[in-house]
């Protein structure tokens, strides 16, 4: 035990966070395999339990087996807890438990929280974790109460309460799990404007990022917000509008349905229409939205809205011959380099995984395999319906992609590559580009 503690002390933050997520996933899978987690008459294999646990912890929502049809109330509760841990982050939950127990948070713990939440400063880490936990409780509590008024019309009060709590946790943590049964997702509530808007409200605020929400609460006016918050809010609004218009143009769905799927594709994974019936154009639009994803420090995945914004501004500056910036602020070269690296690595992950999926699942079309991979990488959970039918190897590929998508390709790369900084440089020479 002492050696293990010493070993963990010398590990870099990225590696510890990765190990933490992997441990929670494995424990979750083992619990979901227990007889008290599985419904009588249902069968759950190890790969399906591992897939469900990974999807929950990585707040994805892709399902190999239906949650309501295969797991007991206890098993469904375990899935909800895994979603909550995955959404908040293993380190944030761990620090939160230490605070609740009255223990002092070590410097190591603060470093892990800083790394996990992508914060620039070590100051106020404990205060930040408390604010995040309180904020999560408030949003999920309000969401559960409002959702209950809808579900209680179709289920008994106790059952409706369970569905409402599960739905609120899944929506705010941008995880498309549901416990309605029959792989229906929210299709039965396709025309319920109230539930659609509640779900969108939870998804949007869960995807904005905790730091942005805190900045909005503190400053109250857009003009006073920091650059990061302005970028996230602006990009989110543009993507929501563009996604709604494009989906309405490509699919025979209502304006409510177009808006809902534009919101949901930003890493939530809920659907009110069968995605398998969408046209290739509609699926491609969803792929773009899923790849971009939510915002840094949020419960969502993807390359993030700020990454997309920085790349767009950098590309724009090349043709306008102006410095890269926005809202009367300059964007650093370091931000541009990091955004480029994240996008290239993410694209490489998606391309590689899609190649393997096309080899392993040749009976499905290219767009179906691509959609499944992008959904897993963006930790979205939308599917054309092929997930339960995937072979074991195909499920393993999706599990790996979900894990990479939740932690980030850069974080995983930093675990294995740690070159010391070199002061010596070679002579610079230009290369013909384009």
Domain boundaries, the chain: 115-414
Beta bridge pairs of residue 201: none
Cα–Cα distance for residue pair 290/227, rounded to 1 Å? 24
Helices (H), 173-209: 193-208
Cα–Cα distance for residue pair 86/299, rounded to 1 Å? 8
pLDDT for 119 equals 64
The 10 Å CB-count burial string (b at 16+, else e) for 397-432 is: bbbebbbbbbbbbebbebbeeeeeeeeeeeeeeeee
Distances (CA, A) of 215 to 83, 112, 125, 319: 25, 22, 15, 33
Assess contact for 258 and 248: CB atoms under 8 A.
yes
pTM, rounded to two decimals: 0.88
- 383, burial (CB in 10 Å: exposed 0-12, middle 13-18, buried 19+): buried
Q: What is the pLDDT along the chain (434 residues), one digit of tens a residue?
A: 556 555 555 566 667 777 888 889 999 999 999 999 999 988 999 999 999 999 999 888 899 999 999 999 999 999 999 998 888 776 566 666 556 656 666 666 666 666 666 666 656 677 777 888 888 889 999 999 999 999 999 999 999 999 999 999 999 988 889 899 888 899 999 999 999 999 999 999 888 888 888 888 888 888 888 888 899 999 999 999 999 999 999 999 999 999 999 999 988 889 999 999 999 999 999 999 999 988 887 777 889 998 999 999 888 888 877 888 888 888 888 888 888 988 999 999 999 999 999 999 999 999 999 999 999 999 898 999 999 999 999 999 999 999 998 887 666 665 555 555 556 667 777 777 66
pLDDT for 128 equals 76
- 257, burial (CB in 10 Å: exposed 0-12, middle 13-18, buried 19+): buried
Cα–Cα distance for residue pair 172/141, rounded to 1 Å? 10
């Amino acid at each position: 035990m002492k050696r293990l503690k010493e070993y963990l002390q010398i590990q870099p933050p990225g590696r510890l966070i990765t190990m933490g997520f992997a441990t929670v996933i494995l424990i979750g899978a083992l619990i979901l395999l227990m007889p008290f987690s599985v419904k009588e008459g249902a069968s759950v294999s190890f790969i399906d339990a591992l897939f469900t646990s990974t999807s929950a912890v990585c707040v994805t929502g892709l399902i190999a087996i239906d949650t309501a049809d295969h797991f007991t109330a206890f098993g469904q509760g375990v899935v909800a807890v895994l979603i909550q841990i995955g959404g908040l982050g293993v380190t944030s939950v761990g620090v939160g438990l230490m605070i609740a127990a009255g223990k002092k948070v070590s410097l190591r713990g603060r470093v892990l929280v800083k790394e996990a939440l992508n914060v620039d400063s070590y100051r106020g880490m404990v205060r930040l974790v408390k604010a995040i936990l309180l904020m999560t409780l408030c949003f999920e509590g309000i969401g559960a109460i409002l959702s209950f008024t809808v579900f209680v019309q179709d289920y008994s009060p106790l059952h409706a309460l369970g569905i409402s709590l599960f739905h609120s946790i899944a929506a705010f943590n941008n995880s498309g799990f549901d416990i309605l049964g029959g792989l229906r997702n929210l299709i039965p509530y396709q025309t319920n404007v109230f539930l659609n808007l509640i779900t969108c409200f939870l998804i949007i605020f869960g995807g904005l990022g905790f730091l942005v929400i805190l900045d909005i609460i503190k400053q109250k006016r857009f003009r006073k917000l920091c650059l990061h918050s302005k970028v996230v809010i602006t990009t989110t609004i543009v993507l929501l509008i563009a996604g709604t218009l494009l989906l309405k143009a490509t699919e025979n769905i209502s304006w409510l349905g177009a808006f809902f799927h534009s919101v949901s594709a930003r890493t939530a994974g809920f659907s009110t229409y069968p995605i398998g019936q969408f046209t290739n154009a509609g699926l491609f639009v969803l792929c773009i939205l899923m790849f971009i994803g939510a915002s840094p420090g949020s419960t969502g995945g993807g390359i993030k809205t700020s990454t997309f914004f920085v790349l767009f501004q950098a590309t724009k500056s090349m043709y306008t011959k102006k410095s890269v910036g926005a809202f009367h602020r300059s964007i650093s070269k370091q931000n541009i380099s990091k955004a480029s690296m994240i996008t290239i690595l993410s694209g490489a992950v998606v391309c590689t995984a899609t190649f393997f999926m096309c080899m392993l699942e040749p009976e499905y079309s290219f767009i179906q395999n691509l959609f499944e991979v992008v959904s897993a990488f963006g930790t979205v959970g939308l599917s054309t319906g092929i997930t339960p039918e995937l072979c074991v190897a195909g499920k393993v590929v999706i599990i790996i992609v979900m894990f990479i998508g939740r932690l980030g390709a850069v974080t995983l790369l930093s675990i294995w590559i740690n070159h010391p900084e070199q002061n010596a440089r070679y002579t610079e020479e230009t290369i013909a580009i384009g």
